[in-house]
Amino acid sequence: MRYIRFLVLLLLSVIQAAKSHLDPAWAQESIKNRSSRDVSCKEGLEYEHDNICCLYCPAGTYVKKACVTPSERGVCEPCEFDKYTEHDHGLRKCFLCTKCRIDQETIEKCTSTQNTRCKCKQGSFCLPDQACEVCKKCSRCKEDEETVKSCTDISNTVCRKRSSLGNSNSVTFIIVVSLIAMVAFVVGIVYWTKAKPSKRAVTSRSPREIVQICMGASEEVQEERQNTHNSKMDESSQLQPFLEQNYAESESIRRLVPLNGEESLKKTFDFFEEMDVQYHNRFFRFIGLSDNSIKTAESLFPEDRVYELLKIWMEKEGLKADFNSLIEALIYLDQRLSAENIIAKAISNGCFKYEDE
């Protein structure tokens, strides 16, 4: 049995030697595989290529040609347009830059060393610990809830139930106000009843006294009318500076004229995204839109809602639709900065110009 094992081992050795002699490529590959297992490159600094360690290429480049001498850097080429690498590496190509989706907006554009950074548009969010395949619409608190934390691009609105104490206080306040109003009404009726002269007191006087009372009353009425007229004149004199100031302010607003008719007005609708979201409903009511029209656009994103409601306003106004009316509405609502920014965009984009230019 021992001799049989010896003969088998001897036979295998002879076969392997013969194969190496007949196939040199196989022998070299075997040696290469053995030597590759012995290569140990520095982690985070080098990568292995053809049994030698090459230094990483820097961020913003890729390995066009590996090194031929150990611990040296090969040929590193800069990433092409719209591609990037963020860290030192041994990659043969750069990564393609990410494109923000339609429901996102770009925070930072892509560079050769950094990918594009996106975030959900206003009114929507994506949780950071979940794959953001689509931005979700922010929730709204119910009537019996209050907002604890407003919605952001990475978190939803946080609501909580209103406390029963707050509800009871509101009910108590309403009851107290109602009682005060009732008491004031009753006191007013009593006072009016006592102040009104009785018929008996008037008929007990002589005809001459009655005539004198009537004449006196007419004089008092005339005097009261004169006093009322004088007070109105005083009020008008006090209001005059205020009216002149308002007129001066309105005169300081330079009117703008369109360069391309109705098309110029439509192009400015996108610029009204500048307006504060909190003033949207007040603004659209001010320019004449109904609550039903405003409510139908609540489900849209803020910028889309502004555009759609301005289209409805333009159709409603027809030929009377005027860019200056929208600007005056913003100024009336103390949104002068937004109005100035919108005017600047309308002029720089070739939509409007000042009438006096």
Confidence of residue 118 (pLDDT cuts 50, 70, 90): very high
Both 261 and 323 in a single domain?
yes
Burial of 120 (0-12, 13-18, 19+ CB in 10 A): buried
Are residue 62 and residue 86 in the same domain, yes or no?
yes
Does residue 95 lie within any of the structural domains? yes
Whose CA is closest to 84, among 113, 58, 57, 108? 113
Could you tell me which residues are beta bridge partners of residue 146?
Answer: 160
Does 130 fall in a domain? no
| Shared-domain flag, residues 247 and 259 | no
Asked if residue 137 belongs to a domain, the reply is no
In a domain, 328, yes or no: yes
Structure confidence by residue, pLDDT tens digits, 273-289 = 888 888 889 999 999 99
- The DSSP line for 6-61 is HHHHHHHHHHHHHHHHH-HHHHHHHHHHHHHTT--PPTTTEEEETTEEEEPBPTTE
Q: Taking 80 as the threshold, does the pLDDT of residue 149 lie above it?
A: yes
**Alpha-carbon distance 151 to 311, whole Å?**
28
Q: Are residues 270 and 310 in the same domain?
A: yes
Q: Are residues 88 and 101 in the same domain?
A: yes
Question: Would you say the pTM of this structure is higher than 0.85?
Answer: no
Boundary residue ending a domain (95, 121, 147) = 121
C-alpha to C-alpha distance for 10 and 325, rounded to whole angstroms: 104
Please indicate, yes or no, if residue 230 is contained in any of the structural domains: yes
**In-domain check, residue 18:** yes
- Find the CATH number of the domain harbouring 332: 1.10.533.10
Type and span of the H or E element at 214: helix 207-252
For residue 176, being part of any structural domain is answered with no
Pick from 124, 71, 60: which is nearest to 95 by CA? Answer: 60
* 248 and 264 within one domain: no
Task: Indicate the residue among 233, 252, 271 that finishes a domain.
Answer: 252
Please give the distance of CA 291 from its chain centroid, rounded to a whole number.
22
Residues 274 and 324 in one domain: yes
Is 244 in the same domain as 269?
no
Instruction: For residues 63 and 26, state if they share a domain.
Output: no
One domain for residues 85 and 66: yes
Expressed as residue numbers, the domain containing 318 is 255-354
271 in the same domain as 245: no
For residue 225, the surrounding DSSP H or E stretch is: helix 207-252
Q: Give percent of the chain with pLDDT exceeding 90.
A: 43
Total tally of structural domains belonging to the chain: 4
CATH value at residue 109: 2.10.50.10
- The pLDDT tens digits of the residues spanning 18-48 come to 555 545 554 455 445 544 456 789 888 999 9
Residues 238 and 319 in one domain: no
Asked if residue 166 is part of any domain, the answer here is no
Task: Assess whether pLDDT exceeds 80 at residue 166.
Answer: no
